[in-house]
Amino acid sequence: MKNIFIACDTTNIQQIKKIINKSKIKLKGYKIGFKFGLEFFYSKNGRKFILNLKEKNLWLDIKIFDIPNTSYSAIKSIKDLKNISYITVHVSGGLEMLKAVKKAVKKYNKKLKILGVTVLTSFSNSSIKKIGHIKSIKSLVLKQSKLAKEAKLDGIVCSAKDIKFIKRICKNMEIVTPGIRLQGDNLHDQKRVMSPKEAFKSGATSIVMGRSLIKGNFKNNIQKLIKSLN
């Protein structure tokens, strides 16, 4: 069963409720999930709302990136969120940080799956050079994938365009791809994008879709998604 995560990128709880209610559809071979990032988690009552959600397949996308001890404590601080299935960490935090997060998950929530974020899909080769990287995105993602594997993470988050480079490394891991757009959609701040069908065909186990679904008529956008998958 492959996942389609809807990115709930808003601070409006009523809008989130509408998205969840309208997403109760059956897609053969696919399971709908909901991703909550920093925008919603940090908003007033955001954490409380997530805590009380009865839906399954929830993803807390807070991209932990700090020293090992603080990262360990971050997992401890959300030990009450037992309904969360996935959490993200930046692989760039290093092996010791990843191991600290893994250790905390084993102690506080064994069912929680850790996804290692590689190079964000908003980056291009030129933009990563501006922050000091001398290697290409391909080289960075390959190295980060190996690090995530060594840390025994459950999966990685990468552009669908990177899957062909890391499939062999991550063959027993989940591969989650953001930056998914329907045909004709505005790319906004994304640089490395792909369609839902192309991403799954490339080897993604899950995709993430935000603005392509929640902006405008949600029902019509869902129908476009279904059509694009068939």
Active site residues: 63
DSSP bridge partners of 114 = 87
Q: How far apart are CA 147 and CA 186, in angstroms?
A: 33
Tokens 């995560």 belong to which residue? 5
Q: How far apart are CA 87 and CA 67, in angstroms?
A: 17
Question: What are the angstrom distances between the C-alpha of 67 and each of 64, 124, 136, 166, 171?
Answer: 10, 26, 26, 26, 29
Phi/psi at 84 (5° precision): -80, 130
